[in-house]
Structure 1
Amino acid sequence: MKLLLIRFSSIGDIVLTTPVLRCIRRQYPDAEIHFLVKQSFKAVVAHNPHIDVIHTLDKDLNANIETLKKIGFDYVIDLHRNLRTMRVKRAIDAPALTFDKLNFRKWLYVNFKWNVMPDKSIVDRYFEGMRPLKLQNDGQGLDYFIAPQQETRQDDIPMGHWAGFIACVIGGSYATKKFPVSKWRELAQQSPYPMILLGGPEDRDEGNEIAAVDPGKVYNACGKFSLNESADLVRRSKVVITNDTGLMHIAAAYKKPVVSLWGNTTPEMGMFPYYGFNNLNQNVAQLSVIHEVKGLGCRPCSKIGYPSCPKKHFKCMVDIPVGPVIESVKKFWKL
């Protein structure tokens, strides 16, 4: 049996598909598993042992389609579900499986603040869409794999961090999903533990502002490491403090304690840290603590994010107190 899974982007969304990949491999060991992803996100799945062939989308989707049509797939599994994936499914003569994106429920939640979202991870919704395959969720959570040569060395970080550090993910795809620099600086001042700041080159200047609080305690690694090297630093950390971003899901894949900070988006959208069968109410993950401003009338203002706060006050992040975040870190540091 040949299967094509599609998830073009982005980092966290791709990581959230990994339980489906693993369970297909284990429950259909003879299956040939193909994965279609954007070239810019290939590194996220490049070393996943459950994938046999990776197809990358650059600009010419038609070229991808012509290649894929010749393979003879038995199923197309669409874990992205947009207009481009619809084109792929229409072109390939095979049954297509997908999931419920709950767009109308999200619209009600964003526009009227009516929270009719189910208390479950998007991972569980993926498995609901796999019923024709009788695919069972094994409850083992997310996966993330890197090559040995992408692992960081001890001397890649300051000696003062060798005995343990907090990985602080300061980056994010949208400004309204990012904890403000002023709050990170406050957190750095109060932290009793060494911190490593993680993000891309675009986060370097903000990282410098934060690290200036205490350069011996706070190491700005933004832009100094590749995605997979940053993932390895997450793996090596004792606790992860993170915005709602891709490294949050990588941290959950490594079963790290995660202290997550939520701004304009909310965990109820289904993208909270997933360790396997956990949700937000009945089966709360023991390694996850969520910090957010409850009861804010303008939140969520988007299911994705904005370049700046539409209301100009950014209370969803500014009003998150730093003290409880530090207490969450202290609790996990002792594990």
Structure 2
Amino acid sequence: MNKPVKFLILRFSSIGDIVLTTPVVRCLKQQYPNAEIHYFTKKKFGFLLEDNPYIDKTWLLDGSLNAMIKELRTENFDYIIDLHTNLRTLHIKLALFRRSYSFKKLNVQKWLQTQFKINYLPDIHIVDRYLETLKPLNVINDDLGLDYFIPYKDKVERDWIPQTHRKNFVAYAIGGQHTTKKLPVPRMIELCRKINFPIILLGGKEDFEAGEEIAKALGDQLIFNGCGKYNFNQSASLVEQSMIVFSHDTGLMHVASAFKKKVYSIWGNTVPAFGMYPYKTAFEVIENNNLDCRPCSKIGYKECPKKHFNCMNQLSFDFDIKELPNSK
């Protein structure tokens, strides 16, 4: 029997970024002979990987990195695939002293884009750039898109949601890691009125109050506030069951892509040009391109640096939703 070729994939954050690495895992496992795939991430993100059939072992950081490195040394990896490329991953690569291939982050190009609005970014999705890391190994993109695997225990049954939403519903991921990635609540209400179809709002506990405001404004026949009521996998299960998905620039947008949903992606201070728009699925971009201050950050802020937040406050909802039978 041929000896397994052991790979260690490094990506420590965040939810969306880890989901975006799933084609790398699948293509490497399926195309490289005898590949044994190990994935190293933070403990809080381990749930994203535990049911992935292409991963043989998951390593979860929850404490001393040096202690973990001692354990990793015993595995005698053949290759390290660094999809994060920061000081932590550099430390790991130097400590393990194995052949490595590293993702090019293009931080200089992103800085030029955010600071001076000079666009030297390549017109290529970040998934395709992740996969370019595997070119020396003759692994290529299989064009099957993203993966997301939901454990049975987190599958949400239709009879667990309100009767008003059981036949069909729209999923709207109202959360976001930073405030400048999210519509203000009055604009979310305006958007939900535009959709005019049963909507399940998805987000964390921090989004619950915003969801309650939306539900109060529009009524429970139209809105079911699921924010904070489901873990991430359960929210993903609802995304999988939805007709279409509206989402800010956040992790559930990429989950929707994995399930090949039509995605209406809403952009504030960040831009699709950073290469993290919905991948290998139908989508429409909702953004304000009439501002000279956007993008202002590659990640986001707690509040608009200019105080006007016009990237969201002046965003036009002039799209046409053809997928919904009762939408106006």
Per-residue deviation, 1:26:
0.9
Give the Cα separation in 2 of the matches to 1:66 and 1:237: 45
Q: Is the 8 A contact 2:176 2:248 kept in 1?
A: yes
1:91-146 per-residue CA deviation (whole Å, 9 max, x = no partner) reads 11210101211111111101000111111101111121212111110111100001
**What is the rounded CA distance, in whole Å, between the counterparts of 2:148 and 2:112 in structure 1?**
33
**Take 2:194 and 2:120, find their aligned partners in 1: how far apart are those partners?**
38
Asked if residue 270 in structure 1 is aligned to residue 270 in structure 2, the reply is: no
Q: Which moved more, 1:221-230 or 1:93-102?
A: 93-102
Matched, 1:299 2:294: yes
Is 1:106 paired with 2:101?
no
The 5-angstrom pairing of residues 133-282 of structure 1 reads: 133-213=137-217, 214-275=219-280
Unaligned residue ranges in structure 1 (runs of 5+)? 276-284
Looking at structure 1, the residues matched to 283 and 121 of structure 2 have their Cα atoms a distance apart, in angstroms, of: 20
Q: 1:191: how far off?
A: 2.7
Q: Over aligned residues, Cα RMSD in angstroms?
A: 1.1
For residue 289 of structure 1, give the secondary structure of its aligned residue in structure 2: strand
Partners of 2:195 and 2:247 lie apart in 1 by 15
Whole-Å separation in 2 of the counterparts to 1:144 and 1:255: 11
What residue number does 2:313 align with?
A: 318
Q: Who is 2:48 aligned against?
A: 44
Q: Which amino acid aligns with 2:244?
A: V
SS at match of 1:212: helix
Who is 2:59 aligned against? 55
- C-alpha distance in structure 1 between counterparts of 2:187 and 2:27, whole Å: 40
State the Cα distance separating 1:29 from its structure 2 match.
4.8
| CA distance in 1: counterparts of 2:79 and 2:194, whole angstroms | 53
- Displacement of 1:252 in angstroms is 0.2
Work out the CA distance in 2 between the residues paired with 1:29 and 1:166: 42
Q: Is the Cα–Cα contact under 8 Å of residues 197 and 324 in structure 2 kept in the other structure?
A: no
Cα deviation code 1:133-191 (max 9, x no counterpart): 11110111100001112100112211111111110000000000001111111122333
How many residues are aligned here? Answer: 320
Matched, 1:34 2:38: yes
User: 1:148, 1:186 → 2: CA distance?
Assistant: 35
1:332 aligns with 2:323: yes
Q: Structure 2: how far apart are the matches of 1:30 and 1:211?
A: 52
Once structures 1 and 2 are overlaid, which stretch shifts more, 28-37 or 225-234? 28-37
Q: TM-score, normalised by structure 2?
A: 0.95
CA–CA distance in 2 between the matches of 1:131 and 1:174? 34
CA contact (8 A) 1:204 1:222 kept: yes
- TM-score normalized with structure 1 length: 0.93
Moved more, 88-97 or 182-191: 182-191
**Uncovered stretches (5+) of structure 2, i.e. residues with no partner:** none
Identity %: 50
